[in-house]
Chains A and B, each alone.
Chain A
Amino acid sequence: MEILLEKYFEGQTSIAEENELKNYFSSLNVAPHLEQYRPLFGYFVEAKDENFDKKLPLISKKQKMAWLSIAASIVVLVGIASYTYFNMNKPNENAALGTYDDPKEALEATQKALAMLSNNVNTGIEGIQYIKMYEETKDKVFVE
């Protein structure tokens, strides 16, 4: 065993010989003067038992890119769809507002609308006349 151990420390042992050493030192009858080497070989055996059991994120970049492009195309599609949807609705709304295609008709309608507006404004002005009267009376009463 000593010779084998010496060979071991010189790095000249084969794997079979090293296994022999490991077996010897894991057995119960180790010579007392060799006892000190026992933990070394014990450690070698024990250290081999450690395992890797973390989960692997195995989605490659290519797959990630694929998902990304799918998501992007969905966004684009939704964008186009909503744009066209709202654009289709717009002309209908204009029709409801009373758009005219004939200029004459349009002129008449505009004049009518403007006349209505000025009438309303005049009514407002009449109302303001009262305020003016109030102002004059006030000036008469509170003369400086």
Chain B
Amino acid sequence: MNQNDFVLLINPFKDKLFRLAKRLLVSTEEAEDATQEILVKLWSKNENLETYNSVEAVAMTMTKNYCLDQLKSKRASNLKIVHTNLANNEPSLHKQVEDHDSLKWVEKIINQLPEQQRIIIQLRDIEQCEFSEIAKIVEMNETAVRVALSRARKTIREYMLKAHNYGV
């Protein structure tokens, strides 16, 4: 497989990888780096690429694992900074409500969910994957995915109702 074939192969889903990475890492730059890393890794696997039945699913799983690793190592190396970040989230969150920038605000809410739920929301509500695909990517069974999805959606609803009551 040469470079052109590879680019054609990854084109349909590279944005998807990036959005998943951004969902988990939040920062655009970090998500870009992560996506780049994953695609280069994929490219170096070149010869085995044909043996996978879905390169996209493999890439999604790789992205998920890579980002989770990234988060874990960040947390291990500077626990303190993460905590101050959490503390800082609250006021800016209220500011978002005041600004009525509701789309940004939805993003904030989603990014506060646990990682697993964030991945599932991303895959289901934004990328519109089937439950079977999601189950494969997050390595859970479909029922567990449904339960986590429902929980995540309900958490979002709770926050939104609160925001609604504050905001209007």
A interface with B by C-beta (< 8 Å):
8-12, 15, 18-19, 36-40, 42-44, 46-48, 50-52, 54, 56-58, 60-61
- CB-CB under 8 A for A46 and B103, given A9-B150, A9-B154: yes
Residue contact A36 to B126, C-beta cutoff 8 Å: no
- CB closest residue in chain B, given A19: B128
Residue contact B107 to A43, C-beta cutoff 8 Å: yes
Contacts of A38 in B (CB 8 A): 102
Residue contact A52 to B35, C-beta cutoff 8 Å: yes
For window 102-159 of B, CB contacts with A under 8 Å fall at: 102-103, 105-107, 110, 124-128, 130, 146-147, 149-150, 153-154, 156-157
How far, in angstroms, from A61 to B66 measured CA to CA in the complex? 20
Residue contact A60 to B44, C-beta cutoff 8 Å: yes
Q: Residue B160 contacts which of A36, A46, A51, A52 (CB distance < 8 angstroms)?
A: A36
Residue contact B147 to A11, C-beta cutoff 8 Å: yes
Residue contact A37 to B160, C-beta cutoff 8 Å: yes
Q: Residue A57 contacts which of B6, B14, B36 (CB distance < 8 angstroms)?
A: B36
How far, in angstroms, from A8 to B125 measured CA to CA in the complex? 10
